[in-house]
Amino acid sequence: MDKKHVMIIAEAGVNHNGDLELAKKMALVAKECGADAVKYQTAVPELVISVFAPKAEYQKETTGDKESQLEMVRKLHFDFESHRQLKEYCDSIGIQYLSSPFDIPSVKFLATLDLPCMKVPSGEITNYPYLVEVGKTGLPVILSTGMSVPEEIEDAIKLLKESGSGEITILHCNTEYPTNYEDANLGAMLWLRDHFGCPVGLSDHTRGYECDVAAAALGAVVIEKHFTLDKNMEGPDQKASLDPKELTDMVQAVRNIEAAMGSGIKAVSSSEAKNKPIARKSIVAARAIRAGEILTEENLTTKRPGNGVDPMRWNEVLGTAAIRDFEPDELIEI
């Protein structure tokens, strides 16, 4: 197993509540927390949501039901120029800017920003013309798979590849905010990897970050997690997000697991090698032995330290003659 750097995406989403300065501050905090990238959402709301579209239940619980979904989203999204400014700010502080496009003009715009990949959100996995446009960018794709079944994922991957996309990384995802742990179904991430032969990761909406640490141990190459500056702020996703301290702790935990995974080859590490002669045993005299005496199970035993004859040579030693006198506990020589 090769050591791989897990890409950690701090999902700012719309937790900036449409405030560009707050969005920039989130980028800085994500950088300070150790994330590799900060991700936003790019959309022309009127091209994404009809006037008849209802809010999701979690959105009603967090933002009320007096306004429509379209009215809510209009307040949470930036125009393209604001996203260009966000990208420039992220570049200036040394964190990767990413954004999920929700419509074709947003795909085309983001393709002009010299991004390393295009992120397809779960809700667009069955959007045929949108997927064609994403594929035409030629960029690698991170594909979230919340609410989808294998056939839909297969169709999306095929369409993206036929349209010219780069490598596709599949993110296992449960699209509920927050996701209950019993619905996280982390094993599905491994199924996606084995079935589609693609790199995989996790877009996690549980309240904590245990699933993210587990995903790193299971081989995720990308982990995406919502974060907020304050869970008590207004907005649909705040309460399903990590605060800065939690994000910092999550990043460190993932990095610890990343380091702990190692090469995957069982070998003696340099750190433990010095303990080998201390912890292992050698064949020693169980009592005083005279030169020429036959070595037997009665006059031999095994004790520390382990810098003498290996006890795995026990049968080779039995029946031979002592080459000299040995004191009790003295290492046997043959």
Element containing residue 98 per DSSP (H, E)? strand 96-101
Tokens of 308: 């003498």
Number of residues assigned to the chain: 334
Query: Other C-beta atoms within 10 Å of 92: how many?
Result: 10
In which band, very low, low, confident or very high, does the pLDDT at 1 lie, cut at 50, 70 and 90? very low
58 pLDDT above the threshold of 70: yes
Domain 7-261, CATH 3.30.420.40 — does that match?
no
Residue type, 111: A
Tokens of 199: 């790199």
Torsion from C-alpha of 171, 115, 254, 147, nearest 10 degrees: -20
Tell me 284's DSSP state: E
Of 50-64, 186-200, 277-291, minimum mean pLDDT range:
50-64
Q: What is the pLDDT of residues 62-85, one digit of tens each?
A: 888 888 999 999 989 999 999 999
- pLDDT value for 316: 98
Q: Where in the chain is the domain with CATH 3.20.20.70?
A: 7-261
Q: How far apart are CA 160 and CA 134, in angstroms?
A: 7
Tokens of 188: 């599905």
- pLDDT value for 181: 97
In which band, very low, low, confident or very high, does the pLDDT at 3 lie, cut at 50, 70 and 90? low
**Which residues, 6 or more positions from 293, have their beta carbon under 8 angstroms from its beta carbon?**
299, 321, 322
Of 38-42, 105-109, 176-180, minimum mean pLDDT range:
176-180
Under a CB-based contact definition with an 8 Å cutoff, are residues 263 and 1 in contact?
A: yes
- pLDDT value for 156: 98
SS3 of residue 145 by DSSP = coil
Sheet strands side by side (includes 37-42): 96-101, 37-42, 7-13, 222-226, 200-204, 168-173, 141-144, 118-120
Q: How far apart are CA 311 and CA 303, in angstroms?
A: 9
In which band, very low, low, confident or very high, does the pLDDT at 2 lie, cut at 50, 70 and 90? very low
Under a CB-based contact definition with an 8 Å cutoff, are residues 63 and 121 in contact?
A: no
266 pLDDT above the threshold of 70: yes
